[in-house]
């Protein structure tokens, strides 16, 4: 078991926010030091070679399939929801009650489903092929995502937020912000970049989520992170990509 004050090492692709950004948000809100290893120079033990050494399993424990990867003493974890839940439990960013923690994971995994569908708007056929090789399929997929799937997911989370009486419309679970709220805020931020027209169309139906996003972004630790060079901008190489031809205003939501 890792010591309470042991440092965290995060391994993720150095040029995209991607799934690593959800982990960074938990680390930043917890105000704990961490080493974003692959963003260090190669000659300083960082870069993609350091990341690939973890993916290849050059240490004990279960070999991860892909980043993000968190190393904490002898523990090595992969999969964004697992890492976020582990950090949240250690740093007070999830309710202490066991049942509530499982509910938090339920919400987090539902957000992961949404994140996967967002990614597939630009890669609906083959993850290894370029977007340009599947543009026609992407436009068909994205049109359905914007008209049906996006409102369904966001409508669900709006209902969860409004039903959380303890959070008074400020948190998806419990009385205060959890790691699930941080993930939700990042998803909305990504949608504002990738699908600004579609998000604007659905926004009147999700006022609570919009307010939640604004509240999370205003948290002192999160605001400081956003203003720093540790926060990577979105680009057309990650999950959230802005292709104007995929963004639309659905006629009916």
Average pLDDT for consecutive 10-residue bins of the chain (253 residues)? 74 96 98 97 95 84 92 94 98 95 98 97 93 93 96 97 86 95 98 97 96 97 97 94 90 45
CA–CA separation, 45 and 49 (whole Å): 8
What CATH number has the domain bearing residue 216?
1.20.1050.10
Cβ proximity of 221 and 29 under 8 Å: yes
104 and 227 share a domain?
A: yes
> What are the CB-based long-range contacts (under 8 Å, 24+) for 138-144?
138/243, 138/246, 139/245, 139/246, 142/246, 142/247, 142/248, 143/248
Question: Tell me, what's the pLDDT at 253?
Answer: 37
Residue 73 tokens, joined: 């003493």
**H/E run at residue 10:** strand 8-11
CA–CA separation, 129 and 90 (whole Å): 39
105 and 195 share a domain?
A: yes
Domain of 85, in residue numbers: 8-90
44 and 104 share a domain?
A: no
Q: Which of 90, 122, 150 is the last residue before a domain boundary?
A: 90
3-state helix, strand, coil in the chain (%, to 5): 55, 5, 40
CA angle 55–41–221, rounded 5-degree value: 85
164 and 224 share a domain?
A: yes
- The number of distinct structural domains making up the chain is 2
Cβ proximity of 77 and 83 under 8 Å: yes
On the CB side of 40, CA atoms within 13 Å amount to 14
Query: For the whole model, what pTM was predicted?
Result: 0.94
Question: Tell me, what's the pLDDT at 5?
Answer: 67
Question: Tell me, what's the pLDDT at 6?
Answer: 78
Cβ proximity of 18 and 239 under 8 Å: yes
Which residue matches tokens 């961490």?
A: 34
| Within a domain: 170 | yes
Question: Tell me, what's the pLDDT at 62?
Answer: 86
Which residue matches tokens 């692709």?
A: 13
| Within a domain: 240 | yes
| Within a domain: 147 | yes
149 and 68 share a domain?
A: no
73 and 196 share a domain?
A: no
């Amino acid at each position: 078991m890792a010591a309470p004050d042991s440092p965290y090492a995060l391994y993720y692709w150095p040029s995209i926010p991607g799934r690593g950004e959800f982990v960074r948000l938990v680390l930043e809100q917890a105000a704990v030091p961490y080493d974003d290893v692959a963003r260090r120079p190669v000659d300083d033990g960082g870069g993609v070679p350091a990341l690939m050494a973890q993916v290849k399993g050059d240490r004990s424990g279960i070999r991860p399939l892909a980043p993000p990867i968190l190393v904490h003493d002898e523990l090595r974890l992969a999969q964004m929801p697992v890492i976020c839940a582990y950090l949240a439990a250690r740093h007070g960013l999830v309710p202490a009650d066991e049942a509530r923690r499982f509910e938090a994971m339920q919400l987090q995994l539902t957000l992961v489903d949404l994140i996967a569908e967002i990614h597939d708007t630009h890669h609906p056929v083959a993850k290894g092929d370029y977007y340009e090789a599947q543009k026609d399929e992407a436009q068909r997929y994205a049109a359905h995502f914007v008209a049906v799937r996006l409102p369904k997911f966001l409508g669900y989370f709006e209902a969860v937020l409004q039903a959380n009486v303890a959070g008074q419309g400020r948190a998806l679970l419990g009385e205060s912000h959890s790691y699930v709220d941080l993930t939700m805020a990042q998803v909305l931020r990504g949608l504002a970049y990738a699908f600004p027209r579609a998000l604007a169309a659905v926004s009147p139906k999700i006022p609570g989520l919009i307010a939640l996003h604004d509240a999370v972004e205003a948290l002192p630790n999160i605001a400081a992170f956003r203003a720093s060079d540790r926060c990577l901008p979105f680009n057309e190489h990650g999950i959230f990509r802005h292709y104007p031809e995929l963004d639309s205003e659905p006629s009916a939501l």
